[in-house]
């Protein structure tokens, strides 16, 4: 008998339906002749708690740390015992096992850890499914791989699981006990992903609060030429007049971005410009025109979709993940959603015409766009070299029944389908013109853009309008050396602004591009090749975890740090709250997976690192931070549960004001442990005179 073990019941049903012959549902499995299909329900096993290794670890004590298992143990989750028994019984009858976990690191671990736990030593094949439509599942069943090929991915997943346990459990106990000494009565959770993510928000919030706005004064002219007029701006950094003043020892009133911080030079120049009304009082110094093209945006990865959906529909990242999971499992309208890839296999190109026409049916706008597509085009998205375990999110080709879709499901389905459909439209082409003018020997600059071919942009016109597209308008026809005059001029008073607070979109984007937040140049260069902070499957859940634990709150669309969140970041060793460590972890795990590096040195180095971090815990530093920091107020229903061994009063547990209750379940089944310098208009224009739930440690 051949036994297929799927990651979840919905996948098991899809596999059974694709098998030849009739199948019948049994208790915990599906019988399909000489093949049986059973399933996991997320992780059926979890890392054993410290007291399973030694009873004395039930009481939390700094003297016990670090706790390092000599022999790692897994234990069944309480709600999974029945399904584990079913799998054990079926394994006794099996001649061969087919591993049908999701095509990612966690999916590889989820099924294989069950086989290892039950000491299965027979042959194992690997079934990779990213599309639950029957034809796609049938094709996957015909392309089984040897599971041994995926052993390095399992080793990487296992190393990640153990490293998370070591890091999170030891540091959470250490800082909870340190917090108790500092007067904080609650769990202080520390993890390799959640803590650097919290650090990003805390540092951004404090940068905003410490920001001191400064006024600056852009000077503009309305330049008149033979073919019309346009607006140009004084380029003060290259001003000959200001440079002459600088050579005489006068400090230039410019900031590091070239903005004029003193209105007096602009006012003086504007008074003179107001007199240059005659053609020839100025001239066009240079005209630089170039034709450019922009390819269609790539199909979505999960994180890219979460960023766009947060901007367009204000959907939290976790809501996007949950909705995509429903589109994949329940409606079978999209391919595997937890993908970090934005490319498609080349072999998919051949069948795209029929697939996309079917996928676009039922929606008037998508039907119109599919009618205008050229399915002979092969965009950069079809690239086998960029596709690994899974490809970009794409429609499956099943005709959608919009009556059965929620509003969010329909919106996200349209977004995913539109980005794939855009691959069959030509590039957006435009002409960009940059102009420099001279008036009173002073430089003025303008730019404009004119569309040559809208190309794929026609699919996104409504979205562009909603986002207040700031494309510069086209300029009139210009020639170098032609005379110009000043029709009008003025000075705008603006004010420097602090960076925007983080929100769902910008936090997901920050996690995707974590190298931007690394100060060390060498580390930043290394991290450009790393996937980022967290994974596609964990990023959304991590935001919710920090909210549920009382470290972050949603303030409208913004994410704000709370007092306890800030105090924790201030009290922790700096290395724990910075992204370098966790991103470098991901690099090491990638080397285990892709190059076959052994996991033991990685874990050994982690233990050495842990010892140094534990020695740096400081109750006085935490006490001082709690007394000095500000922060947002967490929701009333948030509060951290006490750790095992935390103090109790009057025989009852007491919630602290700052922690959180348990979080929702997800894939793993274990408890979870944007730029600055923008501007705003102030008082307007002045005229011159006369013018899958992850482990606790993440």
Sign of the alpha-carbon torsion through 242, 247, 251, 256: positive
DSSP letter at 71 equals S
Match 């980005």 to its residue by tokens. Answer: 419
Instruction: Report the distance separating Cα 154 and Cα 650, nearest Å.
Output: 47
Closest CA to 113 of 2, 7, 192, 1: 7
Instruction: Report the distance separating Cα 74 and Cα 83, nearest Å.
Output: 16
Task: Enter the tokens of residue 579.
Answer: 């992204």
Match 């020839």 to its residue by tokens. Answer: 280
Instruction: Report the distance separating Cα 320 and Cα 317, nearest Å.
Output: 5
Task: Enter the tokens of residue 104.
Answer: 């990612």
Find all residues with CB under 8 Å of 274, minimum gap 6, and list them: 486, 489, 688, 689, 690, 691
Closest CA to 74 of 692, 644, 669: 669
* DSSP, residue by residue, 146-210: EGGGGHHHHHHHHHHHHHHHHHHHHHHHHHHHHHHHTT--S-----TTHHHHHHHHHHHHHHHHH
Torsion over CA of 665, 180, 205 and 208, rounded to 10 degrees?
170
CB-based contact 373:425 (threshold 8 Å): yes
List the catalytic residue out of 29, 154, 300, 336: 336
Closest CA to 409 of 335, 334, 311: 334
**Number of other CB atoms surrounding residue 536 within 10 Å:** 25
Instruction: Report the distance separating Cα 581 and Cα 579, nearest Å.
Output: 6
Find all residues with CB under 8 Å of 301, minimum gap 6, and list them: 339, 340, 341, 342, 392, 393, 536
Instruction: Report the distance separating Cα 84 and Cα 96, nearest Å.
Output: 18
**For this structure, is 336 an active site residue?**
yes
Instruction: Report the distance separating Cα 356 and Cα 398, nearest Å.
Output: 9
Please identify every residue annotated as catalytic: 336
């Amino acid at each position: 008998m051949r036994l297929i073990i799927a990651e979840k019941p919905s996948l098991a049903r899809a596999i059974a339906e694709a098998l030849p012959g009739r199948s019948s549902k049994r208790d915990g499995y599906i019988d399909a002749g000489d093949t049986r299909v059973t399933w996991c329900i997320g992780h059926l096993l979890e890392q054993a708690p410290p007291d399973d290794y030694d009873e004395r670890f039930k009481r939390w004590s700094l003297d016990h740390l670090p706790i390092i298992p000599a022999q790692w143990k897994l234990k069944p989750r309480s709600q999974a015992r029945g399904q584990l028994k079913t799998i054990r019984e079926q394994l006794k009858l099996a001649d061969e096992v087919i591993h049908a976990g999701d095509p990612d690191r966690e999916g590889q671990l989820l099924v294989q850890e069950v086989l290892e736990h039950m000491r299965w030593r027979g042959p194992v094949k690997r079934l990779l499914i990213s599309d639950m439509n029957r034809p796609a599942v049938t094709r996957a069943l015909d392309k089984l791989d040897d599971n041994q090929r995926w052993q390095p991915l399992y080793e990487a997943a296992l190393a990640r699981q153990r490293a998370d346990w070591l890091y999170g459990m030891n540091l959470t106990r250490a800082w909870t006990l340190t917090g108790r000494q500092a007067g904080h009565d609650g769990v202080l959770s520390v993890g390799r992903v959640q803590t650097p993510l919290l650090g990003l928000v805390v540092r951004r919030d404090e940068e905003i609060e410490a920001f001191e706005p400064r006024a600056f004064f852009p000077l503009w002219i309305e330049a008149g030429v033979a073919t019309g007029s346009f607006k140009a701006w004084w380029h003060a950094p290259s001003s000959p007049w200001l440079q002459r003043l600088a050579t005489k020892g006068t400090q230039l009133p410019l900031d590091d971005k070239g903005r004029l911080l003193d209105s007096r030079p602009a006012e003086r120049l504007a008074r003179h410009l107001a007199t240059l009304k005659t053609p020839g009082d100025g001239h066009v110094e240079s005209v630089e025109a170039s034709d450019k093209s922009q390819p269609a945006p790539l199909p979505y990865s999960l994180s890219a979709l979460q960023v766009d959906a947060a901007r367009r529909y204000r959907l939290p990242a976790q809501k996007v993940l949950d909705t995509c999971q429903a589109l994949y499992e329940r409606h079978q309208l999209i391919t595997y959603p937890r993908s970090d890839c934005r490319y498609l296999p080349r072999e998919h190109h051949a069948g795209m015409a029929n697939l996309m026409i079917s996928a676009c049916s039922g929606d008037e706008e998508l039907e119109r766009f599919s009618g205008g597509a050229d399915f002979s085009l092969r965009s950069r998205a079809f690239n086998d070299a960029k596709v690994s375990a899974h490809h970009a999110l794409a429609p499956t080709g099943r005709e959608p029944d919009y009556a059965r879709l929620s509003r969010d499901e329909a919106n996200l389905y349209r977004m995913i389908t539109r980005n794939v459909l855009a691959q069959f439209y030509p590039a957006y082409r435009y002409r960009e013109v940059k102009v420099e003018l001279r008036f009173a020997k002073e430089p003025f600059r303008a730019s404009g853009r004119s569309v040559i071919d809208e190309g794929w942009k026609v699919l996104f016109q409504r979205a562009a309008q909603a986002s207040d597209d700031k494309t510069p308008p086209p300029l009139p026809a210009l020639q170098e050396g032609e005379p110009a005059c000043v029709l009008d001029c003025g000075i705008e008073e603006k004010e420097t602004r602090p960076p925007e607070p983080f929100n769902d979109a910008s936090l997901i984007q920050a996690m995707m591009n974590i190298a931007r937040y690394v100060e060390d140049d060498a580390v930043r260069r290394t991290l450009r090749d790393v996937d980022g902070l967290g994974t596609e499957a964990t990023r959304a859940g991590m935001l919710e975890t920090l909210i549920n634990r009382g470290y972050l709150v949603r303030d409208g669309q913004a994410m704000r740090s709370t007092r306890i969140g800030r105090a924790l970041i201030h009290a922790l060793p700096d290395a724990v709250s910075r992204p370098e460590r966790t991103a470098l972890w991901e690099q090491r795990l990638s080397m285990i997976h892709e190059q076959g590096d052994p996991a033991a040195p990685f874990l050994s180095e982690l233990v050495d690192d842990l010892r140094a971090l534990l020695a740096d815990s400081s109750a006085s530093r935490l006490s001082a931070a709690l007394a000095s920091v500000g922060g947002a107020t967490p929701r009333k229903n948030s509060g951290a549960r006490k750790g095992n061994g935390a103090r109790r009063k009057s025989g009852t547990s007491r919630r602290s004001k700052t922690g959180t209750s348990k979080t929702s379940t997800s894939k793993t089944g274990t408890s979870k442990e944007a730029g600055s310098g923008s501007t705003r208009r102030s008082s307007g224009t002045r005229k011159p005179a006369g013018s899958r739930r992850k482990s606790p440690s993440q």
